[in-house]
Amino acid sequence: MKKLLLLSAWLFVQVLWAQQQPKQYVLIEHFTNSRCGICASRNPAFYSLIQQYPHDVHHLAIHPSVPYSNCVFYQANPTHNSARANVYGINGTPRVALNGALLPAGNPLLPAAALEAALGKTSPIAIEVKEGGVAPTKTAEVTVRAFGSAPSGNYKLFVAVAESTVNYSAPNGESKHYDVFRAMLTDINGQDISLPAPGGSATFNFSYTHTQPNGWTSNFDSLYVLAFVQETNTKAVLNSGTRFDPVFTRAAEAPAARVVQWSPNPVTEVASALLPGQRIHSVEVFSLSGQRYAVEYTTAADLVRLSLETLPAGAYLVHVMTDSGPYVGRLVRL
């Protein structure tokens, strides 16, 4: 059994090494309006869903003129809000575009299944964002790094400024507004970019001067930059990035992984593992083919508990990152 586990761990590391591409963050462009009653009724469930995936989702709230052009967030930058809405032909709110694909209007605004289907994917590029400056001027350095070959297409770089949280009592009853789009630092229609060859990178620099809008109070310290690369014909988003994301680097060699034992194994719902003396940073679950699954887990000191109720029956490899490096174990879900 020990040899089998060691072999599984070795195969798992080879699968990860063979992939060695950054994860693709899910870019959610959220079209809403501060005077829209339907928006107020559907946005809370939408926010509740995406807040379950803080390390996988980038959210941008765009405010077009529909159904009300006197929305204060639209009025703060009508040209840029309208232009981004026009990319998807938005004629009503609320709507959501997921990695460049406009979802049908409905309730819920974003079905959980649609979001979950977009998780666990990789991209041939990573986008690194560094920010600087002092009020009222923010600076940003955006680097696009290539770790593989992108599909052929006409790509553009978009760099947006967003405000993470705005406290404003809107006419539709909403009092907190998240990731409010303020301006596009590239041309509103994007900046042409020739994606670098694998192993290469391209860096771009931007600046933004913060001003107070009419009708609500804006906080300079809440501003951040969101960058993404989008194909102009299909609208597919290749990847996105913010300063909050960990920097992706590819190691020169596959890391050495130690074996971790899960109990019970096989398991139907919850399995646990003890890693004495280790502080646990992350837990990821992969199929034997290398597909990543989003699962819930909890940690207490050196104990980790993994919930597998949502996974289909089958064999999985669980990767646990600790202070001293990775651990890998095989787990069977009944």
Residue type, 198: P
For the segment 48-68, the average pLDDT, to the nearest whole number, is 95
In the structure, what pLDDT confidence band is assigned to residue 252 with cuts at 50, 70 and 90? very low
Q: Which of 23, 62, 26, 20 is nearest to 236 (CA)?
A: 26
For the segment 29-47, the average pLDDT, to the nearest whole number, is 98
Separation of alpha carbons 177 and 162, rounded Å: 11
Quick check: helix, strand or coil at residue 233? coil
What pLDDT score does 129 carry?
96
Least confidently predicted of 48-52, 93-97, 254-258:
254-258
In the structure, what pLDDT confidence band is assigned to residue 289 with cuts at 50, 70 and 90? low
**3 pLDDT higher than 80:** no
Architecture per CATH, domain 26-242, reads as Sandwich (2.60)
What is the location of CATH 2.60.40.10 in the chain?
2-20+255-333, 26-242
* Rg, C-alpha atoms of the chain: 22
Residue type, 210: H
Chain segment 191-232, per-residue pLDDT in tens: 999 999 888 899 999 999 999 999 999 999 999 999 999 999
CB 65 within 8 A of CB 73: no
Tokens of 136: 């009222």
Query: What b/e readout covers 2-13, taking b as 16+ CB neighbours within 10 angstroms?
Result: eeeeeebbeebb
CB 224 within 8 A of CB 131: yes
Which residues contact residue 164 at a Cβ distance below 8 angstroms, ignoring those fewer than 6 apart?
178, 179, 222, 223, 224
What pLDDT score does 283 carry?
84
pTM for the full predicted model: 0.73
Architecture per CATH, domain 2-20+255-333, reads as Sandwich (2.60)
In the structure, what pLDDT confidence band is assigned to residue 10 with cuts at 50, 70 and 90? very low
Chain segment 291-319, per-residue pLDDT in tens: 778 788 888 878 889 998 888 898 888 88
For the segment 161-188, the average pLDDT, to the nearest whole number, is 98
Dihedral pair phi/psi, residue 18, rounded to 5°? -65, -35
For tokens 């539709």, the residue is: 172
CB 261 within 8 A of CB 320: no
Mean residue pLDDT across the chain: 89
